[in-house]
Amino acid sequence: MEVGWRDYIDTRLEAVEHKVDSLNMLMRREFELLAQDRDRQRADLAHRLEGMNALRAQLDRQAGTFATRERVELMERQVWRAIGLLAGLVIAAQVLIGVLLR
């Protein structure tokens, strides 16, 4: 039995169309998987960013409770002045008591 050119070409075209349809379905599935992966990655990134923002906010609140070096040095000078003043008052009180008791 002899196959005509028309039948041969029709058969080949059907095979090509079948392959194109298969590739089309495969590509659609790949795009769906890529979209799902992208959505998952976005959700993961959003979750990580929320955690980083919470940490940043906590550090900002915490930093508000820290004293600067200049503030600490000022407080140290004030403490030493107060100690010096108290030491002077103690000496003055001892001298006054000594004078009064003579």
Domain boundaries, the chain: 1-66, 67-102
SS3 73: helix
Q: What is the DSSP letter of 33?
A: H
Distance CA 30, CA 37 (A): 10
Per-residue pLDDT of the chain (102 residues; tens, 9 = 90+): 566 888 889 999 999 999 999 999 999 999 999 999 999 999 999 999 999 999 999 998 888 788 788 888 999 999 999 999 999 999 999 999 988 887
From first CA to last CA, the distance across the chain in angstroms is: 149
Distance CA 33, CA 54 (A): 32
Residue 89, H or E segment: helix 69-101
Looking up tokens 């194109």, which residue turns up? Answer: 20
